[in-house]
Amino acid sequence: MCRLLGVASAEPTSVADTVGDAVLTDFLALTKIHGDGWGVASVSEPDDVPRVEVSPDSAIGDPRFGTAVKESARASVVHLRWATNGLAVRPENSHPFGADGVAMAHNGSIKPMAALDGLLDPAIAATLRGTTDSERYFALIRQHRPASPDLAEAVRRAVAQLRGIYADASLNALVLGEGRLIAVHAHARSVLLDEDIEEISATDLPAEHLEDYFSLRVARLDDGTVVIGSTGFGDLDWQPLPPESVVEVVLSDLSMTVRPIMAD
C-alpha cells in the first residue's frame, strides 16, 4: 500500500514548488509508515515519454528524492511505498513502473495474484521484472491499450476487468503518458488489516490514515494546476474524486473528464 501524489501544470514547474514546503513536509512525514521505497515519473512536455526514477530506500533520507521533486516538469507522479506483506523491497518492485511510453503507480493490494496472472497474455507476462500485483495491474493496462481508442479507455477497461474478479480490492492508481495524467479512484470496500491499523496507530500520522486511508482527492490551484493526492497530508483545498471512476487530465489544457468504471 502506498501514498500517491500527482501534479499537472500549464507551465513546467517542480512538485516541490507546486505544492509548497509545508505540503511536501507533510508528505515526507508519511515515510514513518511508507518508507519501503519511492519513485517519481515526470514529463517535460505533454507528449513526452515519462522519465522514471525509483529507489528501494526511504524518501526521507535520500537526496535523490529531493532532487527528483525539484526538477521542472509539466506533469509528475510521486509514490511512497508501504510494501505489502511478503513482497520484497527492491528496485524492480518500486513504483512507478514504466513501459510502452506510460508510467503507473498503484495504492492497494490485489490478492490472490493467481487470477491476475491468468489475465495476462504470455507476451505481456514475459515483460514483468518484479513480483508485485501492482506491476501486473500495469501490465493489464498495457495489454488493453492496442485495442482501446485512448489510454484512459485502456485504463478503464483494465480496471473494470479487475473489478469483476476482485470486488473489494483497492485499484487506486495514477497513470502518466500520452499527454494525460489519469487517476483511478476505485477502492470499493477496501479496509486496512488489523496489523496495518496497529502499525499506523503507533505513529503520530493524521487520523485520515485510519478513517479514510484509500481515498483520492483533487485540488485545483489558482493558476489552474491540478494536484491529485492520497489522504493524510497537505492543507490544499482538497475535493473528493468521484468513486469508482477514471479521471483524465489533459496536459495540453488541464481539462478534466470523469469516466465511470462500469461504463454503459
pLDDT digits (tens, 9 = 90+) for 226-259: 999 998 788 899 999 999 999 999 999 999 999 9
What's the Cα-to-Cα distance from 26 to each of 109, 170, 213, rounded to whole Å?
A: 24, 23, 15
In the predicted structure, residue 86 carries a pLDDT above the cut 60: no
Closest C-alpha among 174, 149, 171 to residue 159: 171
Q: In the numeric block, which cell numbers belong to residue 175?
A: 497513470
Report the distance separating Cα 246 and Cα 156, nearest Å: 6
Query: How many domains are contained in the chain?
Result: 1
- Mean pLDDT (whole number) for 31-35: 81
Residue with cell 529531493: 66
Higher pLDDT, 33 or 6: 6
Contact assessment for residue 55 and residue 91, using Cβ atoms and an 8 Å cutoff? yes
pLDDT value of residue 79: 95
pLDDT-above-70 percentage for the chain = 89
Read off the pTM: 0.93
Band of residue 59 on the pLDDT scale cut at 50, 70, 90: very high
Residue 101, classified by CB atoms within 10 Å of its CB into exposed (0-12), middle (13-18) or buried (19+), is middle
Q: What is the CA radius of gyration of the chain?
A: 17
At 64 the pLDDT is 95
Average pLDDT for 121-129: 97
Q: What is the pLDDT of residue 36?
A: 87
Asked whether residue 195 carries a pLDDT value surpassing 80, the answer given is no
Q: What is the mean pLDDT of residues 130-148?
A: 97
Among 3, 31, 16, 5, smallest CA distance to 218 is for 5
| CB within 8 Å of 239: residues ≥ 6 apart | 217, 218, 219
| pLDDT of residue 80 exceeding 70 | yes
Distances (CA, A) of 57 to 25, 61, 225: 17, 8, 29
For residue 207, the model assigns a pLDDT of: 59
Please determine, for residue 88, whether its predicted confidence score (pLDDT) is greater than 90.
no
Q: Which domain holds residue 181?
A: 2-260
CATH code, domain carrying 181: 3.60.20.10
